[in-house]
């Protein structure tokens, strides 16, 4: 990063234990804001310039409400935690009015067809996304010890919004999971004999609190990368988790082969999980807990895409 100011922001966010992707996102929007104000120092600007920038995102770039909200959050952080000059609570800017899209949902048969078509190397991560409602990054970041075979559940730690939760585990996946653990263990045993290997990455200060944990099998990733790599932050030789891009490509390739008339992504598995649970009569609060939503209103969007139609209304055309 060439800008010392942006580097300072990144360092500050890391100290506050923000997720790596959140740091990257906030720095991206703060950089965009600085370019918008013609590279003036943000300390010399305040509410008016921020309002102009947020309006620009809507008027000129036509961004969605959620994206505009992320940019606003980044600037709120900048002025509150970096410049110690909080923004007004009543900013006056042109808010994006683009309508939010309904989630794309597959039928159970479509999910079954898609899972059959996906490359065998990536079936299990996709089965977990559908079977447990996991996000893509939640799957890739799973540690071996997160799988609880005794209670048939998966522990998700410090996910989106720094929230943790426990989700259901399909019993049908237990043999495949045990095989995957054996596969990850073989990498672990080989890495132990590499004198340059410095253990698996641990978040925050866990590595200092538990010095032996980076070399503990349970902390290693369930889906390890094929090759060792250098951790750029500490220049340590580690084995990272599988690259999420490879899973995205596998899902896209399988979807294109089946010619679904839908825009299918990895997140479609999560949408389908929630919708199919509701179709089977699951309580919406239960689905909310499984998905890790803070507000039940976020979960309620799935009630609009259930198989019976809009809110269960029967079309009069069906009686003709």
Please give the C-alpha separations between residue 197 and each of 167, 193, 202, 213, 236, in angstroms, as whole numbers: 33, 8, 14, 14, 8
Torsional class of 121: left (φ above 0), alpha (ψ -120 to 50), beta (otherwise): alpha
Phi and psi at residue 188, to the nearest 5°: -60, -45
Structure confidence at residue 158 (pLDDT): 83
Enter the tokens of residue 37: 């104000």
pLDDT for residue 46 is more than 70: yes
Nearest to 240 by CA among 165, 137, 162: 137
CB 155 within 8 A of CB 164: yes
Model confidence pLDDT, tens digit, residues 60-104: 998 888 899 999 999 999 999 999 999 998 899 988 887 667 889
Nearest to 77 by CA among 10, 158, 161, 32: 10
- Give dist(CA 140, CA 312) in Å, integer: 36
Percent of the chain with pLDDT over 70: 93
- Give dist(CA 143, CA 241) in Å, integer: 9
Q: In whole numbers, what is the pLDDT of the chain averaged over residues?
A: 90
Please give the C-alpha separations between residue 251 and each of 99, 114, 170, in angstroms, as whole numbers: 27, 8, 21
Catalytic residues: 135, 160, 267, 270, 293, 302
pLDDT for residue 253 is more than 60: yes
Structure confidence at residue 155 (pLDDT): 96
Structure confidence at residue 304 (pLDDT): 73
pLDDT category of residue 309 using cuts at 50, 70 and 90: low
Structure confidence at residue 311 (pLDDT): 52
Structure confidence at residue 181 (pLDDT): 98
pLDDT for residue 234 is more than 90: no
Model confidence pLDDT, tens digit, residues 158-187: 888 788 999 999 999 999 999 999 999 999
């Amino acid at each position: 990063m060439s800008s010392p100011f942006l580097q300072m922001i990144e360092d500050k966010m890391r100290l506050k234990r923000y997720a790596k992707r959140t740091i990257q996102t906030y720095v991206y929007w703060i950089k965009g804001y600085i370019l918008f104000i013609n590279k003036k120092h943000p300390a010399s600007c305040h509410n008016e310039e921020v309002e102009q920038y947020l309006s620009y995102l809507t008027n000129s770039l036509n961004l969605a409400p959620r994206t505009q909200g992320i940019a606003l959050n980044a600037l709120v952080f900048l002025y509150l935690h970096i410049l110690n000059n909080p923004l007004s609570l009543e900013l006056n800017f042109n808010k994006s009015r683009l309508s939010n899209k309904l989630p794309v949902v597959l039928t159970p048969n479509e999910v079954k067809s898609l899972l059959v078509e996906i490359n065998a190397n990536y079936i299990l991560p996709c089965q977990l996304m559908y079977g447990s409602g996991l996000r893509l990054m939640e799957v890739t970041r799973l540690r071996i010890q997160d799988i609880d075979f005794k209670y048939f559940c998966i522990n998700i730690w410090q996910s989106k919004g720094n929230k943790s939760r426990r989700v259901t585990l399909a019993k049908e996946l237990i043999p495949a999971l045990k095989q995957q653990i054996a596969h990850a263990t073989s990498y672990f045993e080989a890495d132990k004999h590499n004198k340059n290997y410095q253990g698996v990455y641990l978040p925050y200060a866990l590595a200092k609190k538990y010095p032996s944990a980076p070399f503990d099998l349970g902390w290693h990733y369930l889906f390890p990368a094929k090759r060792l790599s250098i951790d750029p932050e500490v220049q340590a030789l580690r084995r990272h988790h599988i690259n999420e891009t490879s899973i995205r490509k596998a899902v896209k390739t399988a979807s294109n082969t089946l010619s679904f008339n839908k825009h299918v992504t990895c997140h479609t598995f999560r949408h389908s999980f929630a919708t199919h649970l509701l179709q089977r009569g699951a309580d919406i609060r239960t689905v909310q807990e499984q998905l890790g939503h803070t507000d039940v209103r976020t979960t309620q969007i799935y009630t609009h895409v259930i198989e019976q139609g809009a809110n269960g209304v029967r079309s009069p055309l069906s009686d003709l």
